[in-house]
């Protein structure tokens, strides 16, 4: 395993360590990463990350630099824990919901018949929920609409894009609508849609549920619409639901 720990209380007080000491004023939490996801069968993967975990009065910084894998118990409810003082067993799972003294709960997973049925993310991230909204924009006949909605304007937050909803109406010809997101590593196309009756519209409800791993990244959603010369377009609403944490 590529996981290590740093005991804050006994570190030499260099400038970088003083920064680390500030973690003592914070609660136990996942700073970034350690996302548990369904793999194959009853295996899960755990992404690289950083966490602050207490064992008694000691606060540890636990860092993983590579993806890890766990094989769970079938036909049961499994709890995945991240430890700070458990030898080399940094990541464990149990069918008991009692959190060990030196650990935090990362996820709850239900397995059945050799497969994973649900994964619940239990990470404490110090999250804040935000909704970005764009309302009531009308465009003349013919052309394109290209709008970047930046979700990390301070370049100091981790961002999770949970949901994107938008409603577009047009006068006659059906517009082509596209939705992309960028977590800092390039655009990913999330939606391409054409079925949109005149002046009726059909709300798109997308759930990418993806998060950035670099809090300095320019995270954004881009909506691009193209429509014919005889078509007028009305963007009734765009709403982007995110969680952010530092």
* pLDDT tens-place string over residues 4-22: 655 555 555 554 554 455 5
Task: Give the C-alpha separation, 156 to 245, whole Å.
Answer: 9
* Cut 0.85: pTM above it: no
* pLDDT tens-place string over residues 224-242: 887 666 666 677 788 999 9
Distances (CA, A) of 164 to 48, 105, 202: 26, 28, 14
21 phi, psi to nearest 5 deg: -60, -30
63-77, 84-98, 123-137, 144-158: least confidently modelled range: 123-137
* pLDDT tens-place string over residues 96-115: 999 999 999 999 999 999 99
* pLDDT tens-place string over residues 88-97: 789 999 999 9
CATH (residue range 128-245): 2.60.120.260
CATH 1.20.120 fits 3-121, yes or no: no
User: What is the domain partition of the chain in residue ranges?
Assistant: 3-121, 128-245
* pLDDT tens-place string over residues 151-203: 999 998 889 999 999 887 776 655 678 899 999 999 999 988 876 666 666 78
| Tokens of residue 3, six digits | 């996981």
């Amino acid at each position: 395993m590529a996981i290590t720990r740093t005991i804050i209380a006994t570190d030499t007080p260099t400038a970088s360590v003083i920064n680390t000491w500030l973690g003592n004023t914070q609660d136990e939490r996942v700073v970034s990463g350690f996302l548990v996801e369904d793999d194959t069968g009853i295996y899960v993967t755990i992404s690289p990350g950083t966490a602050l975990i207490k064992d008694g009065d000691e606060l540890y910084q636990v860092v993983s630099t590579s993806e890890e894998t766990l094989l769970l118990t079938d036909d049961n409810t499994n709890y995945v824990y991240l430890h700070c003082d458990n030898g080399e067993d940094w990541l464990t799972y149990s069918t008991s919901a009692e959190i060990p003294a030196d650990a935090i709960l990362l996820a709850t997973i239900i397995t059945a018949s050799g497969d994973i049925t649900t994964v619940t993310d239990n990470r404490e991230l110090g999250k804040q929920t935000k909704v970005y909204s764009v309302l009531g924009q009308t465009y003349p006949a013919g052309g394109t609409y290209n709008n970047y909605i930046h979700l990390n304007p301070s370049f100091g937050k981790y961002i999770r894009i949970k949901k994107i909803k938008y409603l577009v109406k047009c006068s006659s010809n059906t517009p082509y609508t596209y939705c992309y997101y960028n977590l800092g590593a390039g655009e990913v196309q999330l939606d391409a849609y054409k079925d949109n009756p005149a002046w009726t519209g059909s709300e798109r409800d997308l759930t990418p549920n993806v998060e950035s791993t670099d809090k300095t990244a320019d995270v954004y959603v881009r909506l691009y619409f193209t429509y014919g010369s005889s078509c007028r377009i009305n963007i009734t609403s765009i709403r982007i639901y995110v969680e952010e944490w530092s």
